[in-house]
Structure 1
Amino acid sequence: MTDTRQDDAPPATAKASSVTAAEAQAFGGSKGDSIAARAVTINKPADELYAYWRDFANLSTFMDNVVEISPIDTKRSHWVVKAPGGRTVEWDAIVTEERDGQLIAWESAEGADVANAGRVEFRDAGARGTVVTATITYDPPAGLIGKVIAKMFQREPAIQARRDLRRFKQLMETGEIATGARNRAEHEERDA
């Protein structure tokens, strides 16, 4: 796929284009009909960001809804993620494409609670650092109703992608994630 966009935005949010069926398919569109895409510039080298992200066990340090990611082998991992109503959903993810320092793409295995696929790209931004773009396609449980419920509980992937990338930026640039006045236990009590 040739990228003719004039900005750093991911395909789903770029001003100069809209997501076509072919682009959704390229990002794993067979695993869902909803697409979420976000980008952030992080003042760190692409190789360092890629290495941290590629160790999937690290993702729970900045992805708020991730309960646990357990590596199965070099290409597969098991995910447990918070869902609305105090539930969790689980799936096995399979790495489908990988380029050191540049790209990680995945898709959920058959039988996933939430069918999903996506990719995270790491592009050099010169003196600014690295543009990290996350694009996810997913099939919300219970279709449109499930998507609305997920939004109400702030568990919808588009909302989470923006927040997770912001936390990833904070963690990589400062070594910590800024939090509000309320602590995690208070948030979990409120969200339960």
Structure 2
Amino acid sequence: MFQNVSDWERVASVAAGTALMVMGARQRPANRMATSAGASLIARGIAGYCPINAMLGRPSDRVNTKQALGGNRGVHVYESITINRPAAELFRFWRDFSNLPRFMEHLEDVRVTSPTRSVWTARAPVGMRVKWEADVINEIDGELIGWQSTENADVATAGSVRFVPADRDGTEIVVHLQYEPPAGKLGSLVASVFGQEPSQQIRSDLRRLKTLLEAGDVPRHLAVNSRAAGASPGLLT
């Protein structure tokens, strides 16, 4: 049996199926329709095969990111936070994508493979993991970083972060994330069921970033000159 369901859809199927079975079992009397649908979704996710996809001749690969996320498609998340560190320092820290798992809870690893490409590994529901490649598509030193997943990635995602100077050598970080959820809007429902609503997740991630950087836990080679930044050298490690 060949696989015709993408990795993201497999994750979504197992997660949604588990949620349906739990909700169905909790009802009195038990909701057989919900538990049956849940079992089918779990089987679909584990096998990676969908007979409907096979009948329609649908491949497992996604369309390219531009098609998937063009216009207002997908889910958009906007969040911002002000951090008491210079913009240039925050830019350097973020631009090294391997730093992102230090404060982004859902990310397990980001491996930088070239000046513009990186491989991202994220934690997904029920212990699964999802991996995709992303390219930097826009960059203004000290001001802006933009990225998007590569064509035919299982995860169609894009994002940008702006670094806006604020009062007293602080910086407002403005994040815009966009992604196509697994199995369409079902992905947002699954995320909510498991307590990981996107805006709340990013808000928490940014608070962790603020704590991390204001405490001074920044590698010295990523920090700007302490005199220019107005920072105490003792804060840098």
TM range (shorter): 0.7 to 0.9
Report the CA distance shift for 1:81/1:31 in structure 2 as closer, same or farther (over 3 A): farther
Contact 2:86-2:169 at 8 Å conserved across structures: no
What TM-score results when the alignment is normalised by the length of structure 1? 0.73
Distance 1:59 1:112 in 2: 20
- Out of 199, 203, 206, the residue aligned to residue 158 of structure 1 is 199
| Aligned residue number for residue 189 of structure 1 | none
Cα deviation, residue 157, structure 1: 3.0
Greater RCO (CA < 8 Å, at least 6 residues apart): 1
| Aligned residue number for residue 111 of structure 2 | 70
How many corresponding residue pairs?
150
Mind listing any 5+ residue stretches in structure 2 that lack a counterpart? Answer: 1-65, 218-237
Report the CA distance shift for 1:29/1:38 in structure 2 as closer, same or farther (over 3 A): farther
**Structural RMSD (CA):** 1.9
Distance 1:162 1:29 in 2: 25
Give CA-to-partner distance per residue, 1:83-127, whole Å, 9 cap, x none.
122111111010000011110000101122221111000000121
Contact 1:94-1:107 at 8 Å conserved across structures: yes
What is the identity, as a one-letter code, of the residue corresponding to 1:102?
Answer: E
Contact 2:82-2:170 at 8 Å conserved across structures: yes
Q: Specify the structure having the higher radius of gyration (Cα).
A: 2
The alignment status of 1:132 with 2:173, answered yes or no, reads yes
Contact 1:106-1:118 at 8 Å conserved across structures: yes
What is the identity, as a one-letter code, of the residue corresponding to 1:90?
Answer: K
What TM-score results when the alignment is normalised by the length of structure 2? 0.60
Mind listing any 5+ residue stretches in structure 1 that lack a counterpart? Answer: 1-24, 177-192
Give identity over the alignment, percent.
Answer: 43
| Aligned residue number for residue 168 of structure 1 | 209
Give CA-to-partner distance per residue, 1:17-65, whole Å, 9 cap, x none.
xxxxxxxx9xx64695210010000001000111111111111111111
More helix by share: 2
More strand by share: 1
